[in-house]
Amino acid sequence: MRQSHQLSLVGFLLFSLIPSQLCTICEVSKENFSRLNPLINTMINSKYSKGIQAANVLLSLKLVGIQNQNLEQQLIQQVHDNEENKDLTSGQLALLILALGACQNSDETFVYSYLVSQLEKKFQEEIKNMEVHHGNPLTNYYQLSLDVLALCLFNGNYSITEVTNLFTLENKNFYFGGQFSVDTGAMAVLALTCVKKRIVNGQTETDEENFKHINNHTQSLVKKILSEKKENGLIGNIFSTGEAMQALFVSSNYYNKNEWNCQQTLDTVLKEIPRGAFRVPTAAAQILPALMGKTYLDLTKNSSCASGSGNLNISTQEPVSVAPTSSPSYILVHYSVKINETYSTNVTVPKGSVFLDVMEEAQKINEAVFRFTVVESSWGPYITSVQGLKANNNHRTYWELLSDNKPVSQGVGSYVVHNGEKLEVRWSKY
């Protein structure tokens, strides 16, 4: 009876099986490998104050065939220093597992398997929080997708029914201020694709109804991701494009060839590299695998992680800093904090300053009005409170960064401000 059910299930689902050899992939040619050097140098030469900040970078380097023992030892040390990993969010722990477990030989035991059991618990805590807080997870759906991906790739326990219920396109957690989050949707597609492959390969059992739902969710998410494609080929914005490319690589049977010009996307990204778009290590780490034709689903395939470094002309020389010959020029920006009312001031900062520099200068002018707190994330500093008012996932509140009344596409520690700009930190809901 069980055998006939499996045969029926495979027959029903055969059309949606996505073998890796059928994926639509475009990648940088060997002749253009040198154009990737700025990304690699940014990742290798950066200083990481916390191990988790290095996880994205280590994962990316491994996928393209570059081994970096220093980064790996840094992550291993973090694991030993904090055995319980209580301070890590579920998504951070998932990323740690992906980075440490990437590209291990098939005959090796994943020595951090106990991390997977910790992730199982953190994932269930996310689910429980959603049950009592109107569907809001402890973190966000990007992290939940990372959770499912890591559990799937490293044989963790998860409920197919829970996964089916989580990733419906209509779920509010895919949207921020009414805008679909491309990188969140892309990570969900990668997670769902992994789950589907395990089902079809007989590694996970489910019923036809659940599989049909997972298949439909993937199709809907892919369609939504493609709807965010810009005329120049970017998908969402420059920072979400890498993971969107990965999602489209593994889901090519859900769209027609004329719906996405992969080469155009690739060419546009390559043009942005020398312009400094990926000067933050995490940004560089998230775009590099796609440029090399890799996806996070490849990290358990040893052959996929063994290529690249011999062909890439990598320079590990740190750039030589040149002392300025004259004092820096200054710019004037208008800075505001908006809660129920708006508090404003003019701030003078050196040319080349970032959003965070402006906030720090404003705090010096009036600490009561402009005080704020910040935490470090893999993307750099993240604003957690202003005037003592804290962002809250359960209430879906956060501090939004705006320039001339439009949301900025970079973080507070990355966005370079310009003379005469009107900057605002706004208390918002997503």
Task: Give 206's pLDDT tier (boundaries 50, 70, 90).
Answer: confident
| Binding annotation for cyanocob(III)alamin | 139-143, 183, 237, 286, 382-383, 399-401, 430
Residues 218, 185: Cα–Cα separation, whole Å: 9
Q: What tens digit of pLDDT does each residue of 45-99 get?
A: 887 766 677 888 889 998 998 877 887 787 777 666 665 667 789 998 999 899 8
User: Within a domain: residue 4?
Assistant: no
Residue 142 has pLDDT above 90, yes or no: yes
Q: 81 with 209, same domain?
A: yes
Full residue range of the structural domain in which residue 394 is found: 330-429
User: Within a domain: residue 66?
Assistant: yes
User: Within a domain: residue 127?
Assistant: yes
pLDDT at position 388: 94
Residue 233 has pLDDT above 50, yes or no: yes
What pairs with residue 354 in β-bridges?
Answer: 416
pTM: 0.81
- Which ranges in 27-89 belong to alpha helices (H)? 37-45, 51-63, 69-81
Task: Give 129's pLDDT tier (boundaries 50, 70, 90).
Answer: very high
Pairs from 328-331 (Cβ < 8 Å, separation ≥ 24): 328/352, 331/417, 331/418, 331/419, 331/420
| pLDDT top residue among 126 and 416 | 126
User: Within a domain: residue 6?
Assistant: no
Task: Give 320's pLDDT tier (boundaries 50, 70, 90).
Answer: very low
Q: What tens digit of pLDDT does each residue of 325-354 get?
A: 455 699 999 999 999 999 999 999 998 888
| Binding annotation | 139-143, 183, 237, 286, 382-383, 399-401, 430
374, 401, 383, 410: which is closest to 279 by C-alpha? 410
User: Within a domain: residue 7?
Assistant: no
Rounded to an integer, the average pLDDT of 384-401 is 91
- 143, containing H or E segment: helix 141-153
* CATH number assigned to the domain comprising residue 136: 1.50.10.20
Number of domains in the chain: 2
* CATH number assigned to the domain comprising residue 416: 2.170.130.30
pLDDT at position 68: 78
Q: 132 with 208, same domain?
A: yes
Lowest-confidence range among 158-167, 372-381, 384-393?
Answer: 372-381
